[in-house]
A and B are shown apart, each in its own frame.
Chain A
Amino acid sequence: MAQHPLAIAPLLLLAALVYATGLLAARRRGRSWPSGRAACWYAGLAAATAALAGPDSSFVAHMGGHLLLGMVGPLLLVLGAPGTLALRALPVRQARRLSRFLATRPVRFLVHPVTAAVLDGGGLWVLYATPLFAVVMHSPLIQLHVLVAGVLLAYAVVGPDPMAHRPSPVVRSVALLAFLAAHGILARYLYAHPPAGVPVADAENGAELMYYGGDVADLALVVIFCWQWYDPARFRVGGRRPPQPWRLGSPSSGRRVTHGG
């Protein structure tokens, strides 16, 4: 039981250092890197750290931490585009090896939106709706699972890194929808079925926070997902914008022409 709440903090510190090394290496290689991306990465790490270090005395506080660790943090980390940074920072040969590794079947399976949605949504149901909760509530392994599953889902749905054989937007939106529904249904379920050892009033407040807080995080995810469809160039790291690409290839749908003018 007496596990330290900050047991996975060293991993976060390591992630901060590795990213910084990548930034320096990319700069040495003469490759630029948008500061907004770096800001996202460090904000994500800060959110995850806050979740680990924050109060965990009540179910409400626990749920606040869960939202930061499992949804807000992962989304920010993914927007930090660590894969693209690695490709820019590594020497060509190693960068090629990395892309080949990312295109292997096991990796593709792991970052498939359906896998990610099942790991994330299913994991939450197992954690909160079974007696497991009382046993492992503060376990570092569970915290790590929540963080990693959140990252996988955000990466699968809106990851800006180049991805081999990325599933179509339809597959991604269906998986995302399934996860959103599973999250919302779990929140309502917990309202009436508090996890073992949680007082009713605390569980009700925690469940409402999970529901509405989850909605805010999900909304961000959905907006970014749709925005990527609308304007892909904006989300490509350092991508050049072709002038109005949606007008290319269909001249007849060009600019609006007023009649009889």
Chain B
Amino acid sequence: MKIRAIAFLTFSGFLRNKLMILFLVLFGIVVLLMMTPLLAMKSQAAAQGLPHTETVVLSLIGSIMSTLSGFGSLLAAWAAADAVWSDIRSGTILAVVARPIHRWQFLLGKFLGVQLLMVAYVLMMLALSYLLAAIGGGHIHPAPWLLIVYPLVRYALYSGLAMLLATLMHPIVSFAIMLVIMVAETIVAPGGNPWYLPAWIKTGLYAVLPSPNLLSETRYLTITEASLKSTSPLHHLTALAYGLDWALVFFLLAAWLFSRRSLSRE
């Protein structure tokens, strides 16, 4: 009950946050801008009387959702870094932690509040995917749970890492480090071949950093029904367990550090 109360209060706080409103406005602008190629393609196909190609539509939706999914990772990192810090900065944490709760319970409540925000974001993305598919005349083949659970696990991983960093340093510094990590992950991901990076650094970074590619839902958006069926439940299970394991490790480390830090504003 106590953790749930903190989680819901954190979520309510996010919904009233000015930065969050700005983020949603940006989300809307990006969606509108990225819809133009889809609409152009649809209109061209209609003008020339050509049948639409589902592969092209799905590929466009995939790239739109990939951008939004990246936005989501940034949102998860920022929300987690700010969740605890803003309470310390404003002093609201003192009255809450003075109650009979453990510090880890407070942190878990904050973490779950961030996950609630990300659930709302993922549902928005899901609704948008179906809307875009309907506009483009295509079909979303993967089951909705795939498009919900995969990004949520990825966001849990990022928010856990951001929360861990924010227990040690200022949230802006934490967020900057998160950005660097995200860029590094993309560079060292399989398939990428950065000529400027020695192989041993690439291999080392790949081994150390979490690999969000394994938790990408957008790859399922673009594949056909046949190849989708070939993905076994065990593959999903191991991929999701991989992400949850990282998230759990980050959260436990954050909880351990948080139990030892000062909560004063000084």
The answer to whether A binds B is no
Give chain A's interface residues, CB within 8 Å of chain B. none
